[in-house]
Structures are given as C-alpha cells and as structure tokens.
Amino acid sequence: MKYFVVNWKANKNLTEVNYWINVFLKKYRPKNDIKVIICPPYPFLSFLSKKIKGYPNIFLGTQDISQFDNGPFTGEVTASMIADLAKYTIVGHSERRQYFLEDESIIEKKIKQAIKYKIITFKPTKLRFSVHSHIELFNYCLLEGS
C-alpha cells in the first residue's frame, strides 16, 4: 500500500478548503494500492469528513496530537477527541521541534496516545516517513497543499 499524505500546515480558510476539496474530488481517480490521507488544520476535520464520505481510499489525518490524554490541558487536541474523525496523524514535525521544543520523549508520548486510540502515526524524518502501527509504509508523497 502506498500513501499520499496532504499536509496543509497552518494554511487555508474555510472558503479555500471548500474550493480545494471540490477541485480535488472532481479530479480524483481512486487506485486500489494508494490511500490519500488529507491532514488539514483541526477546524476543518468535520467539514472535510462530510465532503469525502463515500469516496474510496480517501481518509482524514491530523497534523499533530497531544502527548496527553484528556484532562486540564487547555488548547490541546487529544487522540480520543479525534479518533472518530481521523485514523491517521503526523507527529514529530521539524517546526514543532524548533518552535515548540518538542523532543523524542514528547513525540514518543504522542505515538503511545495514538496507538491507544488506534490512530496510525506518520513521523517525518529528513528522508522519509516512519510509520508506527501494524502496517508498513512502502512509499509516500508529502504535499503541503496549494
């Protein structure tokens, strides 16, 4: 199985998201050996889940998850919060390491949270993704969306 991961980072508003997904779905031709994982900012997960419903091999992911389970962590989005909407997440971004000082111990906690809620995690490295789940990643493509 190959994965095509679309990560919008902190870009797009609702109008731009709607335009992008409509154009994408119009041009989309499913392939049995490719899963498309769209990782938008959190506010657009519910909106996009409705848009992609019924399209084969298109799934939602998140750009990050909290290292914490539910609790008094204002602003955090936990794995349990997104488990019904997204089955994938990306952890360990270089900008999270740089600007939020996330290190391997924090990233490992995030991976454990994802596994607890059956969310497959992608961890970017300089050369490729590593996948933390019961599947293997044979190929990937990362787009920042435009």
pLDDT value for 124: 79
Is residue 141 scored above 80 in pLDDT? Answer: no
Task: Show the domain range for 103.
Answer: 2-143
Count of domains in the chain? 1
pLDDT in tens, 68-97: 999 999 999 999 999 999 999 999 988 888
- Pairing of the two strands 120-124 and 88-90: parallel
**In whole angstroms, what separates CA 30 from the centre of its chain?**
19
**Amino acid identity, position 42:** Y
Phi-psi label, residue 54: left if phi above 0, alpha if psi -120 to 50, beta otherwise:
left
pLDDT value for 2: 87
The pLDDT-based confidence of 126 (bands split at 50, 70, 90) is low
| Nearest Cα residue to 60 out of 78, 86, 25, 36 | 86
Is residue 63 scored above 90 in pLDDT? Answer: yes
The pLDDT-based confidence of 138 (bands split at 50, 70, 90) is very low
CATH number at residue 18: 3.20.20.70
Residue pair 35/1 in contact by the 8 Å Cβ criterion? yes
